[in-house]
Structure 1
Amino acid sequence: MLRGLVEPNHQKLSVRRHCELLGLNRLGYYHEPAGESAENLELMGVIDRIYTDLPFYGSRKMAVELSQLLGREINRKRVQRLMSQMGIEAVYPKPNPSKPCREHQVYPYLLRGVAVGRVDQVWSADITYVPMPQGFMYLAAVIDWHSRFVIGWKLSNTLDGSFCLEMLMEALAGGRPEVFNTDQGVQFTAQAFTTALEQAGVAVSMDGKGRCLDNVFIERLWRSVKHEDIYPRCYASVPELADGLGRYFEFYNHRRIHQGLGYATPASVYHGYQINDR
């Protein structure tokens, strides 16, 4: 599946470097690995678009929606497996009774009723699925709640927590929030992740599992980046995706005005300057 993302004739990146970025064995690149079929990758792309707009759809409604859109029956169990592979689940207005990994400590949600009115008061992080023509990647980001400023982001070909920890450490190198909020995903409940926050003197907050409103600002970020960049550009390779996201987040932080910020940009609010002062 990831083999198709390697560009043998890329002017700047060798096959070896492509494989390093994708976590592939270079020798294994020359063999077709077991993975999702082209049909499943297509389905995952459609699921991602539906989920981006309708994150409260579980596998049952998703299967019905897919069947209606595609004009053929799509099995619910198949949809459940693909959604699990994508790292997504329905979000609800009430806590979901399902439980996180028993081996990881879950922290309380600290932001209920809290007015967020200054930068670096609350940061949050999340992961989203990124469809590509011959595979997929995962995108993680850290955002400042008050300003909507994207503090940092990372791409990975797996849901392994190491890329989230790397992103966190880079973000903390440039500043410290009072509270860091995430969902209860294993990447964020991992001891290495929570310990890094506690050692930095940051309070750890976690959403009620499956709640749609506890991390609303980063959910809005995902809708923006997908509808404004990922979907229309349809990046064909990982280097293209990384370069394109770099340009988009630069635009998002420094040029994209937000009605909720009084038509200021995230960067102008986060760094405390007026747009016409730059």
Structure 2
Amino acid sequence: MPIGEICRHLGVARSSYYRWKVNENKFTQKDLRDQQIGDLCKLHKFRYGYRKITELLTDISEKTVQRVMQKYGWQCRVKVKKRKRTGQPAHIVPNLLARDFTALKPLERLVTDITYLPFGQSMMYLSSILDLFNGEVIAFTIGFTQDTDFVLDTLNQLPDLPEGCILHSDQGSVYTSYAYQKAVKEKGMTMSMSRKGTPADNSPIETFHSSLKSETFYLDDIYRTTNACVINIVEEYIYYYNNIRIKTKLNNQSPVQYRQLAV
């Protein structure tokens, strides 16, 4: 089809077409500037933000570099660093267990923690409390936010406790919060906490959470499913863990069987 006919169908003047054709391969100063910024972003594999890219250029302002990078999607792709919180948590207590995870009777020593459940349509969390006497999960909550109310819901599921009961956790902000510490005292418990950055100080509950994921989601290759399915899997496994799954150290009995015989 002749060029004149194409221009007529598109409603474009022939002169406009030829003017565009002459300038097609010509780069403006802005085009060259944008290309320079893009080349630097690609050279550093998008590890730099606009401030660092500006430092590598001359006579181009930060705002211009930022605008160009946003326009073409060239922003820094490195995960945002978490800022270290300043100040001290609300309330830290000593590690009373000192990795002695034995208990002579039920509800004498309890451990608690939160684990991620990244298998559903959205991130979910499991808060659980485990009795060191027989390894039984005596309270748990599945939720979408790991705030103070989340762990308080787990705490409020506990039955009447004997005098001198110890509850051990890490130094997470939900456990050091005033509201949680108050609720623990009202239940007559003594709080104990792991040393900062020492998961081994709370290994029994860490091991349980690891077993839960290994023996369900990872074993069955379930990496993405519905939230309802995640909840169902966790609830069924905890029932199985407490009532059916035997442990060598419990004389090949389940936690519930061992507790019933002890009572």
How big is the alpha-carbon RMSD for the aligned residues of Structure 1 and Structure 2?
2.8
SS in 2 for 1:150: strand
Q: Are 2:111 and 2:167, in contact at CA under 8 Å, matched by a contact in 1? A: yes
Instruction: Give me the whole-angstrom Cα distance separating, in 2, the residues matched to 1:100 and 1:220.
Output: 31
Instruction: Identify the structure with bigger relative contact order (alpha carbons < 8 Å, sequence gap 6+).
Output: 1
Query: Quick one: which amino acid aligns to residue 232 of structure 2?
Result: D
Which one of the candidate residues 192, 200, 207 is aligned to 2:187?
Answer: 200
TM-superposed deviation, 1:185: 0.2
Listed as ranges, the gaps of 5+ residues in structure 1 are 1-74, 85-97
Which one of the candidate residues 199, 203, 210 is aligned to 1:216?
Answer: 203
Quickly say closer, same or farther: Cα 1:101–1:227, change in 2 above 3 A.
farther
Matched, 1:265 2:254: yes
Which one of the candidate residues 231, 236, 239 is aligned to 1:250?
Answer: 239
Q: Deviations over 1:191-234 (max 9, x none)?
A: 11111111221111011011132111111101110011133244
Q: How does 1:121-160 map to 2 (within 5 A)?
A: 121-160=108-147
Query: Quick one: which amino acid aligns to residue 196 of structure 2?
Result: K
Q: How many residue pairs are counted as aligned between the two chains?
A: 184
TM superposition score normalised by structure 1 = 0.59
Query: Quick one: which amino acid aligns to residue 120 of structure 1?
Result: L
Counterpart position of 1:27: none
Instruction: Give me the whole-angstrom Cα distance separating, in 1, the residues matched to 2:235 and 2:86.
Output: 32
SS in 1 for 2:183: helix
Q: Are 1:100 and 1:186, in contact at CA under 8 Å, matched by a contact in 2? A: no
Q: Are 1:132 and 1:234, in contact at CA under 8 Å, matched by a contact in 2? A: yes
Which one of the candidate residues 84, 92, 95 is aligned to 1:109?
Answer: 95
| Identity value in percent | 26
Q: Computing the radius of gyration over CA atoms, which structure comes out larger, 1 or 2? A: 2
TM-superposed deviation, 1:145: 1.0
Counterpart position of 1:238: 227
Instruction: Give me the whole-angstrom Cα distance separating, in 1, the residues matched to 2:194 and 2:98.
Output: 10
Quickly say closer, same or farther: Cα 1:238–1:134, change in 2 above 3 A.
closer
TM superposition score normalised by structure 2 = 0.62
Counterpart position of 1:40: none
Q: Are 1:104 and 1:191, in contact at CA under 8 Å, matched by a contact in 2? A: yes
TM-superposed deviation, 1:116: 2.7
Instruction: Give me the whole-angstrom Cα distance separating, in 2, the residues matched to 1:183 and 1:200.
Output: 19
Listed as ranges, the gaps of 5+ residues in structure 2 are 1-75
Q: Are 1:181 and 1:207, in contact at CA under 8 Å, matched by a contact in 2? A: yes
Quickly say closer, same or farther: Cα 1:103–1:213, change in 2 above 3 A.
closer
Instruction: Give me the whole-angstrom Cα distance separating, in 2, the residues matched to 1:124 and 1:205.
Output: 9
TM-superposed deviation, 1:249: 0.6
Quickly say closer, same or farther: Cα 1:104–1:229, change in 2 above 3 A.
same
